[in-house]
Structure formats: structure tokens, C-alpha cells
Amino acid sequence: MLLQPPVAVSYELTPLGRSLLEILKPLVFWSHEQMDEVRQFRMQFDREQAS
């Protein structure tokens, strides 16, 4: 068996994918900014379910 480098693959978004990316960016930024609060509510929910 000959050792060969793996085949190189290149990926990129289509114009349609790029247009969706522009829509999703604000949601990603918002969710990142809210993550501490989301974690707090998750922990609170988990504590209540364990009771």
C-alpha cells in the first residue's frame, strides 16, 4: 500500500448560501451576547426539574 497525501477538497458557499449567511449573522451575534443568561436559565431549569 502506497502512502499518498489525501485528496484536497475545496468548499465555498454559493451566492444563495452567502445571502443566508448575511441573515444569520445577527442571530449568531445575538445568541453569543445572551449566552450567560441562557446558561443561568438552563441551570435554574435543571435545578427545578431535579427537585
pLDDT score at 6: 84
Provide the whole-model pTM. 0.55
Which residues have CB under 8 Å from 13's CB, separation 6+?
A: 21
Query: pLDDT tens for residues 5-46?
Result: 888 899 999 999 999 999 999 999 999 999 999 999 999 999
CB atoms within 10 A of CB 33: 9
